[in-house]
């Protein structure tokens, strides 16, 4: 049996393929948009996965450390380590700041990690080059999207750090690359004012007669020393011993240590449900609109293609072709167009569009499958309009009537 659709496609294959490609770019953008939305959610989840914690212990009644500022003393971990069911407790600080390297500066989330060995909560779980931090000061492991190379010297506040390791997919919830540095340096970076401010502060303190008393010669130095220390961190990451219920341990800590504790699920709710909720909804709405627009454009294209063949269809009808054959012709062409579009869309989204976006674009296979089904359904639905037009055509038009 001769495939009318195939013959027709062959007849004007160039036009058909290029129309498919144009459609494909549109589908590609829609898939990319879905990928951007997924990437945003995935960034938030990666942030939690990378910390390697079961529980986040933060300042009482805050949503810290990611969604709200949280500040607790850096010796609280000792008390937490003693709670039954806790195997590891590690201090951590997060601070989004500009990191200078040579003449450029990069917006990063500087993460202060506790001293220890690989596998300590908060440490980057895997590297793509270099090594983990071994010195207690002035070394850094950076996400590759920050653009640093191994051995680069970067500047945070007044201190210089050497990049000793590179990692991947370690980003803040807003997509800023993370830079891991030793905790003590990070505490200093969070708190340290610029030298001018420190100088001014010293001068002010020295001018205050309450602190600069001739009868007590060492008082001024003590006051100044107490002004320039930072015993605070943002959160304690806790790992729960296997066999213990994280929620139970969280309840004990919350009840007896007077701190707020979040489990992994709660933290995900905070990040996905609160922190990135608005921007994710924004992207999602954009995705919905783009999908609707794509569907409309597919419908228009197929309708226009069908109208372009209206004379041929009339001739077919004149020759006594059954309606089923004509419906098949239009629907098959429509689906073929959708398939080419999807293939081109998937390729362009993966190879061309996703890599150029500054933030992570996650093209999930399931999304592609859903996209494929949606494309086919849209093609079928939009071909119905064209079929309706084709079936209404008067056979007399075939002979110029």
Site string for other proteins, 1-40 (x = CB under 8 A): --------xx--xx--x-----------------------
Residue whose entry in the numeric block shows the structure tokens 């270099």 = 130
- Of 243 and 320, which CB lies nearer to other proteins in the complex structure? 243
Partner residues linked to 289 by β-bridges:
none
Task: Output the smallest distance, CB 324 to other proteins, in A.
Answer: 26
- Residues 40/280, Cβ–Cβ less than 8 Å: yes
If the CB atoms of residues 6 and 273 are measured against other proteins, the closer one turns out to be 6
The span of 158-166, 173-181, 197-205, 276-284 binding other proteins (CB under 8 A) equals: 158-166
Q: How many CA atoms does the CB half-sphere of 17 hold within 13 Å?
A: 5
Q: Is the peptide bond before 65 cis (omega within 30 degrees of 0)?
A: yes
The H-or-E segment that residue 4 falls in is: helix 4-11
The reply on whether position 165 binds other proteins by CB under 8 A is yes
- Write down the least CB distance from residue 166 to other proteins, Å: 6
Phi, psi (deg, nearest 5) at residue 241: -65, 145
Rounded Cα distance between 88 and 276, Å, is 29
Phi, psi of 124, deg, nearest 5: -60, 125
**82 CB neighbour count, 10 Å cutoff:** 10
Among 25, 49, 107, 205, binds other proteins (CB under 8 A): 49
**Please, what is the minimum distance in Å from the beta carbon of residue 66 to other proteins?**
20
SS3 359: coil
Residue 365: which residues within 8 A CB-CB, separation 6 or more? none
Shortest distance in whole angstroms from residue 401 CB to other proteins: 31
Could you tell me how many residues of this chain bind other proteins (CB under 8 A)?
56
CA-to-CA distance for 78 and 264, rounded, in angstroms?
A: 22
- Min separation Cβ 214 and other proteins, Å: 6
204 near other proteins, judged by CB under 8 A? no
Chain positions 136 to 155 lying near other proteins, rule: CB under 8 A, are: 136-138, 144, 149-150
Residues in touch with other proteins (CB under 8 A):
9-10, 13-14, 17, 49, 52, 75, 87, 115-120, 125-132, 134-138, 144, 149-150, 164-166, 168-169, 184, 214-215, 217, 231, 239, 241-242, 340, 343-344, 346-347, 350-351, 362-365, 368
């Amino acid at each position: 049996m001769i495939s009318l659709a195939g013959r027709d496609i062959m007849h004007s294959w160039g036009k058909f393929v290029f129309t498919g490609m144009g459609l494909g770019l549109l589908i590609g953008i829609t898939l990319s948009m879905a990928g951007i939305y997924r990437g945003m959610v995935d960034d938030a989840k990666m942030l939690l996965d990378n910390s390697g914690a079961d529980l986040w212990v933060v300042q009482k009644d805050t949503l810290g450390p990611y969604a709200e500022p949280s500040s607790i003393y850096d010796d609280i971990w000792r008390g937490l380590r003693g709670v039954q069911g806790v195997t590891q407790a590690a201090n951590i600080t997060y601070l989004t700041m500009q990191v200078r390297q040579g003449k450029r500066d990069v917006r990063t989330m500087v993460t202060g990690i506790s001293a220890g060995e690989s596998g300590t909560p908060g440490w980057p779980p895997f590297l793509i080059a270099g090594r983990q931090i071994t010195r207690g000061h002035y070394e850094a492991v950076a996400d590759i999207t920050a653009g640093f190379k191994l051995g680069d010297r970067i500047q945070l506040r007044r201190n210089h750090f050497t990049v000793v390791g590179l990692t991947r997919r370690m980003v803040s919830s807003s997509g800023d690359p993370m830079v891991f540095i030793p905790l003590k340096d990070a505490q200093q970076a969070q708190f340290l004012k610029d030298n001018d401010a420190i100088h001014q502060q010293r001068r002010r303190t020295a001018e205050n007669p309450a602190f600069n008393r001739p009868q007590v010669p060492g008082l001024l130095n003590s006051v100044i020393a107490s002004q320039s220390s930072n015993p605070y961190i943002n959160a304690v990451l806790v790992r729960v011993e296997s066999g213990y219920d994280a929620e139970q341990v969280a309840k004990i800590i919350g009840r007896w240590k007077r701190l707020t504790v979040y489990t992994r699920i709660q933290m995900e709710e905070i990040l996905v449900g609160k922190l990135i909720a608005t921007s994710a909804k924004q992207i999602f709405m954009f995705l919905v609109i783009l999908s609707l627009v794509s569907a409309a454009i597919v419908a228009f294209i197929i309708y226009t293609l069908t109208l372009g063949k209206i004379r041929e269809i009339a001739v077919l009808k004149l020759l006594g072709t059954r309606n089923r054959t004509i419906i098949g012709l239009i629907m098959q062409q429509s689906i073929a167009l959708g398939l080419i579009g999807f293939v081109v869309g998937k390729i362009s989204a993966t190879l061309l569009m996703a890599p150029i976006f500054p933030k992570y674009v996650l093209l999930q296979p399931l999304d592609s499958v859903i996209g494929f089904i949606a494309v086919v359904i849209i093609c079928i639905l939009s071909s119905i309009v064209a079929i309706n037009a084709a079936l209404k055509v008067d056979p007399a038009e075939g002979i110029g009537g």
